[in-house]
């Protein structure tokens, strides 16, 4: 089976398994796990922030960030197809008493400064006030679009002028950086916090990083504890995370494989493929997405439905160029 459902499905490499076994550990709630401390320092450095904190999942990183930036009842300005709004079980409302105000980011999920100004709500006797702007890069639902540093800067600058902090859900920030050929830090130099995942394209089995200023991360540690994410000998998972960070240049291969997949699938009658910018390929299907996926599954290829006639395939560490070519052949035969 060629599993293109997500880049979350990768199995740890031998090096990651070695790193888990050999990790020096301590109690991380006391700040005493040397492997976690090392990972946090390197992650902060990668994104050019003063501090970083290890969290078990991207969802927790985003939700802790939202809680740490805001007061209960405030509004969060957020793209309407974004993961934090759509795929995190309404966590903004459930966990932090926040009210999302959605903005349409168009085909690529880009939030413009105009949209920030338009969506902003000043606090008064009737209105809650905007407490946070949340951006996503790459934008998953829009097909892994790599949003440029200029676009991110412009939105964050607009928010700052209004006194609103910006958080970036950068689950795939390193994919964006590789695609745009800029250091990850360049993509977040104007924002207040960023979450990025080790467990997606980077291939780690578990873990994400939340980065920001020292004082922000210090407060975020309390919210991580509150949300049940204070881990003990977490070096066991941070060790593989360090290996994942070291291998980040490899993401260019996933992007090249996504392009090969897109070109191959686009030749098949009944499919129309969006040009991939990173490792996500969106495919429009003439037949219902679930029927198409059933045929693909029987032929030995897995993907996920994104809409009634829209399917997502994702390339990653565990699929080679040859696998991608086989996947194209299998789907072509299934649709024949």
104 vs 329, beta carbon nearer ligand TLP: 104
Choose the binding region for ligand TLP from 29-37, 54-62, 265-273, 320-328 (rule: CB under 6 A).
54-62
278 binds ligand TLP (CB under 6 A): no
Hey, what are 104's tokens? 């349409």
- Record the tokens describing residue 191, joined without a space: 């924002």
Cα–Cα distance, 204 to 336 (Å, whole number): 37
Residue 35 binds to ligand TLP (criterion: CB under 6 A) = no
What string marks each residue from 186 to 215 as x (binds ligand TLP by CB under 6 A) or -?
A: -----------x-x--------x-------
Closest approach, Cβ 202 to ligand TLP, in A, equals 12
Report the C-alpha dihedral over residues 49, 199, 14, 41, rounded to 10 degrees: 10
Whole-number minimum distance, CB 58 to ligand TLP, in Å? Answer: 3
- Our finding on whether 6 is near ligand TLP (CB under 6 A) is yes
The Cα–Cα gap between 330 and 310 comes to: 19
Contact residues for 21 (Cβ-Cβ < 8 A; gap 6+): none
Q: Could you tell me the smallest distance in angstroms from the CB atom of residue 20 to ligand TLP? A: 18
- Find the shortest distance in angstroms from Cβ 163 to ligand TLP: 26
- Of 166-185, binders to ligand TLP (CB under 6 A) are 169, 171
130 or 278: whose CB is closer to ligand TLP?
278
> Nearest Cα to 196, choosing from 303, 44, 32, 16?
44
E-strand stretches of the chain = 2-3, 51-55, 75-79, 99-103, 130-136, 166-170, 193-197, 208-212, 271-273, 280-285, 301-302, 304-307, 310-314
Binding mask 79-98 for ligand TLP (x = CB under 6 A): ----x---x-----------
Q: Which residue is nearest to ligand TLP (CB)?
A: 58
Sorted by sequence, the CB contacts under 8 Å of residue 204 that are 6+ apart come out as 12, 16, 198, 237, 240, 241, 243, 244
What torsion, rounded to 10 degrees, do the Cα atoms 278, 279, 282, 283 define?
A: 120
Among 10, 59, 130, 149, binds ligand TLP (CB under 6 A): 59
Q: Which is nearer to ligand TLP, 151 or 208 (CB)?
A: 208
Residues engaged in binding ligand TLP (CB under 6 A): 6, 8, 57-59, 62, 83, 87, 136, 140, 169, 171, 197, 199, 208
């Amino acid at each position: 089976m060629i599993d293109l459902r997500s880049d979350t499905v990768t199995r740890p490499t031998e090096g990651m398994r070695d790193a888990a076994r050999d990790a020096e550990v301590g109690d991380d709630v006391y700040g005493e796990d040397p492997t976690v401390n090392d990972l946090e320092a390197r992650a902060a450095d990668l994104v050019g922030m003063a501090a970083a904190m290890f969290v078990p999942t991207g969802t927790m990183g985003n939700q802790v960030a939202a809680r740490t930036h805001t007061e209960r009842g405030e509004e969060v300005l957020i793209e309407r197809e974004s993961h934090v709004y759509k795929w995190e079980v309404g966590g903004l409302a459930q966990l932090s008493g926040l009210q999302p105000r959605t903005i349409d980011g168009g085909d690529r999920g880009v939030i413009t400064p105009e949209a920030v100004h338009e969506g902003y709500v000043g606090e008064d006797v009737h209105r809650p006030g905007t407490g946070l702007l949340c951006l996503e890069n790459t934008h998953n639902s829009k097909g892994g679009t790599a949003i440029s540093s200029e676009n991110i800067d412009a939105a964050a600058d607009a928010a700052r002028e209004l006194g609103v902090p910006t958080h970036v859900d950068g689950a795939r920030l390193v994919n964006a950086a590789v695609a745009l050929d800029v250091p990850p830090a360049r993509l977040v130099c104007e924002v207040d916090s960023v979450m990025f995942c080790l467990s997606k394209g980077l291939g780690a089995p578990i873990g994400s990083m939340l980065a920001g200023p020292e004082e922000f991360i210090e407060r975020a540690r309390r919210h991580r504890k509150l949300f049940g994410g204070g881990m003990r000998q977490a070096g066991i998972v941070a060790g593989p995370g360090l290996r994942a960070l070291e291998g980040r240049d490899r993401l260019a291969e996933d992007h090249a494989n996504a392009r090969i997949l897109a070109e191959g699938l686009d030749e098949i009658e009944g499919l129309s493929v969006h040009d991939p910018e990173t490792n996500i390929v969106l495919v429009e299907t003439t037949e219902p997405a679930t029927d198409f996926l059933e045929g693909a599954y029987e032929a030995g290829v897995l993907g996920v439905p994104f809409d009634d006639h829209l399917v997502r395939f994702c390339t990653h560490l565990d699929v080679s160029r040859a696998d991608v070519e086989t996947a194209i052949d299998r789907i072509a035969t299934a649709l024949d």
